[in-house]
Structures are given as structure tokens and as C-alpha cells.
Structure 1
């Protein structure tokens, strides 16, 4: 999560550490997506959503798999989860993604 936070503000790091065609990067991102999909542990869920938010510059705004998982979380009863999801969706659909 911390690497993603720094990468959010450092395009060179983002390009080198989170290349979408890199097998290692794909594996890490897949793990975050699985955590979001399962949504079992709130602390881990929030950290994963936050990390995806940091990485929103890496993805295309049309990345429907990520957006779909985030939208599903809007039904979560925990306000803190909903808040993180709204921030993430804002980044993906607004200023961040693309």
C-alpha cells in the first residue's frame, strides 16, 4: 500500500513498479481485487480499496472489472468502506483513471 501511495505521486515509480503487462504486477493487483471481491476483513478491504485508488492512474477509466467490484461495495453497511469506495470511484472515473 505504501509503495502504491508513493507511486500515486511519482509517475516514474508507477510506470516501473506497476506495469500492467508485468506478471508480478498482475499478480499483486489480482490479490487486491480478490480481497475486494471477498470483502471479509474490513481493515484489509479498506487498505485494498485505498491501494487501488492510489493506482487509479495506472488503469484505464474503462477498467470495468475494478469499477464493478467497487460499485458492489457501495452496498456495504460500513460507512468507512463506502467513503473509500467513493474516493476510488471518483479517481477512476474522474481525475485519476486514464
Structure 2
């Protein structure tokens, strides 16, 4: 049903996670957050995570683009377009080399 709804030219925009990046080890307190991306693996759908910038606290935000199986090109094209529209990856902090 899900795959027929998407068809050959549809995409689903879905949150990458239920909240911004958590503190280290805090995921142990939320063991089912992986379902936000795992469900598309189970359905064998291509998915791409698109960075959308930083929230007010400086944490990275993003969204997933999901397409029907074997529609990787569409998924990546939409992800690239959204990435350009939102300015692409923004580092959350300055990294010294």
C-alpha cells in the first residue's frame, strides 16, 4: 500500500528523528527512536537525510526524503534540491585542525 501510494514519482518527507541531536548515551532512555529510519529499511525504500540547518540551541536539524523501491535517483534528486534550497550542511561548531 505504501509503495503504491508513492508510485514512480512520489516522495515522502519525514522527520529524521523525533528531536534534535541528544546528549551522548541518552538514547538508551529512548530505545525506539531508531524506528524513524528503520521502518524504511524494512520496507526497502531508498531514503536520504537532508540537513536543514541548526535550531536555536545550535543543534543540527534535518529531514528524510523517502521514495518507492528502486527510485534512488528521484530520492537523491529531491534531497539535493532541498539541500541547496536550505543552504546545505552547516557545521554545529567550529572544528580546529
> Normalising by the residue count of structure 1, what TM-score does the alignment of the two structures yield?
0.28
Larger Rg computed on CA atoms: 2
Q: More strand by proportion, 1 or 2?
A: 2
